[in-house]
Amino acid sequence: MSREQRGPNEKLGAVLALAGISNAGLARRVNDLGAQRGLTLRYDKTSVARWVSKGMVPQGAAPHLIAAAIGQKLGRPVPLHEIGLADADPAPEVGLAFPRDVGQAVKSATELYRLDLAGRRAGSGGIWQSLAGSFAVSAYATPASRWLITPADSSVAREAHSAEESGAPLKVGHSDVQKLREAAEDARRWDSKYGGGDWRSSMVPECLRVEAAPLLLGSYSDEVGRALFGASAELTRLAGWMAFDTGQQEAAQRYYIQALRLARAAADVPLGGYVLASMSLQATYRGFGDEGVDLAQAALERNRGLATARTMSFFRLVEARAHARAGDAQAAGAALKAAEGWLERSREGDNDPSWLGFYSYDRFAADAAECYRDLKAPRQVRRFTEQALSKPTEEFVRSHGLRLVVSAVAELESGNLDAACEQGVRAVEVAGRISSARTTEYVKDLLHRLEPYGDEPRVVELRERARPLLMAPA
């Protein structure tokens, strides 16, 4: 359905011309983006002609899909007002800003927290479905550069002079901050064990709205404020990581940007680096290896001489992942060697941040295996995967499942079909116990690689075991 504007939509016509997209091309792109979100759209060149020449405004998710489709071609985010569709919904702007002013940073973050809850309560996927396909790696450019230039605000003390939200202004203390840190620790544990889509993990956005937002809008000293911004940044990054794990890339991107801004207000450079590393992993996962390298190197640059050896090791490992996805074997190998060297230098008594508790040699080996998978070096994949799987743990169930899939791919590329299927069956069993779209995607990739052997009994068995997993709702 569409509603009519007054006169032609000249803005949309001009941007289409700038992007070099035909009416038929835009219709095809919008339909494809909709299909990625389970939407059945049947727009054609006539539909687009009506949008441009008659000013018709498509309803539902379509305006956001139009902006996303054009943005993909231009290589940058395209706001609705640029294409004459600003009246459709302002939501795509929320969470993408990286304000210089601390007060505006609080406003940007709390607006995002409110938006997410509204989206999750909607009956058909909420706002994140309407933002389908709106991830644009270029949206990370300004946040990363501003963080590199100024990784800490001069002061974050705040005095609330009037009632905000509901109730009187809130005086924030260290006990309030500690509650947020405890919530972050619980969320990290649930996420690792049950996946980002588990109902316990999905409580993080509500915690941000109900707990963190009122605190950020309250009154606090500079000292308490730094701690508050740091705890809020941790929770916001976690919300982004969980969204990433469940396939909500557009939500993850907005959370990451706000988490980086909050880390800057906290003057916590290692935490800011961790957020940049998360951005890098997302960019790499989406196929933007070069941009992933830039983000990982931004994390490294500001942390030289500040972060612990274990933290630097993780940042170099993330850099290696990006180099491998970009196909640069030499750079990936150098980054892996550096990551291993930093890890060997780390000591038990180092003051490592709590959010790095997941990182050990097992995790290093697992990511090294994925680097060599991308570089098509199965012998190295097998070597590192064996090390990564040597100590299975119930604490990091999702990670264990991902390692099993990588192991299966290595066995397949080494010509060991039976071993590949055996590892695949184990991976499917693990994937069935967690809620992780990322793990499901890894299983799908393995099944795709097995298609040439489709009639083999072991492959048929694996496919049947995976069927319930692949048919489960996202």
How many whole angstroms separate alpha carbon 441 and alpha carbon 449? 12
Q: Which comes out higher in pLDDT, residue 231 or 210?
A: 231
How many whole angstroms separate alpha carbon 202 and alpha carbon 196? 7
User: Which of 130-134, 219-223, 470-474 reaches the highest mean pLDDT?
Assistant: 219-223
- Sequence-distant (6+) residues with CB within 8 A of 199 are none
Q: Where in the chain is the domain with CATH 1.10.260?
A: 2-89
pLDDT class for 40, splitting at 50, 70, 90? confident
Does 316 score more than 90 pLDDT? yes
Q: Which comes out higher in pLDDT, residue 416 or 92?
A: 416
pLDDT at 421: 94
Report the interhelical angle of 45-53 vs 23-36 (nearest 10°): 110
CB 358 within 8 A of CB 366: no
pLDDT at 119: 45
- Which residue from 212, 209, 193 is spatially nearest to 201, judged by alpha carbons? 193
pTM over 0.85: no
The mean pLDDT of 142-149, rounded to a whole number, is: 95
pLDDT at 165: 47
The mean pLDDT of 347-367, rounded to a whole number, is: 92
How many whole angstroms separate alpha carbon 455 and alpha carbon 364? 36
**Long-range contacts at 36-41 (CB < 8 A, ≥ 24 apart):** 36/132, 36/133, 37/61, 37/125, 37/129, 37/132, 37/133, 38/474, 39/129, 39/132, 41/65
How many whole angstroms separate alpha carbon 228 and alpha carbon 213? 11
pLDDT class for 195, splitting at 50, 70, 90? low
pLDDT at 41: 81
Residues 453, 424, 441, 273, CA torsion sign: negative
Tell me the average pLDDT of the chain: 86
The mean pLDDT of 229-237, rounded to a whole number, is: 97
pLDDT tens for 2-17 read 555 567 899 999 999 9
Q: Which comes out higher in pLDDT, residue 440 or 234?
A: 234
Lowest mean pLDDT among 73-82, 160-169, 315-324: 160-169
User: Could you tell me which residues are beta bridge partners of residue 185?
Assistant: none
Structure tokens at 24: 């038929």
- Other C-beta atoms lying within 10 Å of the C-beta of residue 150: 10
CATH 1.10.260 fits 2-89, yes or no: yes
CA-based R_g, the chain, Å: 23
3-state secondary structure the chain: CEEECCCCCHHHHHHHHHHCCCHHHHHHHHHHHHHHCCCCCCCCHHHHHHHHHCCEEECCCHHHHHHHHHHHHHCCCCCHHHHCCCCCCCHHHCCCCCCCCHHHHHHHHHHHHHHHHHHHHCCCCHHHHHCCCCCCHHHHHHHHHHHHHCCCCCCCCECCCCCCCCCCCCECCHHHHHHHHHHHHHHHHHHHHHCCCCCCCCHHHHHHHHHHHHHHCCEECHHHHHHHHHHHHHHHHHHHHHHHHCCCHHHHHHHHHHHHHHHHHHCCHHHHHHHHHHHHHHHHHCCCHHHHHHHHHHHHHHHCCCCCHHHHHHHHHHHHHHHHHCCCHHHHHHHHHHHHHHHHHCCCCCCCCHHHCCCCHHHHHHHHHHHHHHCCCHHHHHHHHHHHCCCCCCCCHHHHHHHHHHHHHHHHHCCCHHHHHHHHHHHHHHHCCCCCHHHHHHHHHHHHHCHHHCCCHHHHHHHHHHHHHHHCCC
pLDDT at 199: 44
- Which residue from 388, 104, 398 is spatially nearest to 242, judged by alpha carbons? 398
Q: Which comes out higher in pLDDT, residue 227 or 130?
A: 227
pLDDT tens for 274-315 read 999 999 999 999 999 999 999 999 999 999 999 999 999 999
pLDDT at 124: 37
How many whole angstroms separate alpha carbon 461 and alpha carbon 445? 16
- Which residue from 391, 386, 467 is spatially nearest to 431, judged by alpha carbons? 467
The mean pLDDT of 351-368, rounded to a whole number, is: 93
pLDDT class for 33, splitting at 50, 70, 90? confident
- Other C-beta atoms lying within 10 Å of the C-beta of residue 179: 14
User: Which of 2-11, 61-70, 107-116, 226-235 reaches the highest mean pLDDT?
Assistant: 226-235
User: Which of 39-48, 198-207, 221-230, 347-356 reaches the highest mean pLDDT?
Assistant: 221-230
Does 118 score more than 80 pLDDT? no
Q: Which comes out higher in pLDDT, residue 199 or 429?
A: 429
pLDDT at 265: 98
pLDDT at 25: 93
pLDDT tens for 57-104 read 887 677 878 888 898 888 887 877 888 887 655 555 788 899 999 999
pLDDT class for 359, splitting at 50, 70, 90? very high
Structure tokens at 146: 């501003």
